[in-house]
Chains A and B, each alone.
Chain A
């Protein structure tokens, strides 16, 4: 699984802590998601999409191999 969270966050000039506060998660969790070490729940992924006004699949996408 790949994601564009860092890209979207930096476009909005947000720190990881600010995004975490906005989404109700810790800065460590934002870091883990950006690094691909943690897959967020569907509610959190939907919250991210709503926050950035994009679709979930604009943030998260499967690798070419189709795996996680």
Chain B
């Protein structure tokens, strides 16, 4: 019996590790431009390690983690991914609030925590307005 699939995307196991590698390479280049040559060997090891880790996870597409990392999650795995993203966002906001408090308590301006928190708030409201139309 042929029934419609609920998979949202074709398997693209290489997408996440490639993104990790490109972003990591960008950070390494930024370190080099900034003259932080001492940290570069460690950064290269971390970038290559993370790329390999995500490539291995992504190819194990039969597992939940593999499907999510590999870019071919089904609807339940998409839900897991969305909840994980939301939870990580909440964690990040808590860190931003604590960072702001610490900076203010030390007599500083609260930057860059205040600006990051404001950016989060604007983006959050913007996406609520955007998604309520869909």
- Interface residues, chain A, CB within 8 Å of chain B? 22-29, 32, 38, 40-41, 43-44, 47-48, 50-51, 53
Whether A28 pairs with B4 at a CB distance below 8 angstroms is: no
User: For chain B, which range describes its interface: under 10, 10 to 19, 20 to 34, or 35 or more residues?
Assistant: 10 to 19
Please name the residue on chain A nearest to B2 by beta carbon.
A22
Asked if A50 meets B75 with Cβ closer than 8 Å, knowing A26-B62, A26-B64, A27-B62, the reply is no
Number of A-B contacts (CB under 8 A): 50
**Chain B, interface SS category:** loop
**Of A25, A48, A50, A51, the contact of B74 (CB 8 Å cutoff):** A25
Q: Nearest residue in B to A50 (C-beta to C-beta)?
A: B3
Can you list 25 A-B pairs with a CB-CB distance of less than 8 A? A22-B3, A23-B3, A23-B6, A24-B3, A24-B4, A24-B5, A24-B7, A24-B74, A25-B7, A25-B75, A26-B64, A26-B67, A26-B76, A27-B62, A28-B63, A28-B64, A28-B77, A40-B75, A40-B76, A41-B75, A43-B4, A43-B6, A47-B4, A47-B6, A50-B3
